[in-house]
Amino acid sequence: MNLETGRPDHIEDALVSMHKGQWFGWSDASNKIYANLIIHDDTKTKPTEEELNAKLVEIQNEFDGKETKRASAKQKLQDLGLTVDEIKEAFGI
């Protein structure tokens, strides 16, 4: 995940969104690539690289949609006369 924006940007974000708990890991934690992905939970199957990439795009699109709605809501509040500071204080956006 991008630490500045919170936007998912790595297959690890896709993995985390697929199942709860520590069901996966890395054979080399400093090189988190598909080839180093290992599954710890025998009840889970290893997704293909294509499935992970598709899941990543899906959660990125969800994130982007929420950001678009957040920006729209903020603009509507400004259009109603609220200041940026008032919006941040009231809603944290």
Q: Domains in the chain: how many in total?
A: 1
Residue 88 pLDDT > 90: no
Domain assignment of residue 28, given as a range: 11-91
Q: Say if 1 falls within a structural domain.
A: no
In a domain, 50, yes or no: yes
The pTM score is 0.79
Among residues 59, 65, 53, the alpha carbon closest in space to that of 8 is found at 59
Question: Is 45 a domain residue?
Answer: yes
What are the beta bridge partners of residue 39?
24
pLDDT digits (tens, 9 = 90+) for 29-47: 999 999 999 999 999 999 9
CA 19 vs CA 11, 13, 15, 47, 74: distances in Å: 13, 11, 7, 12, 33
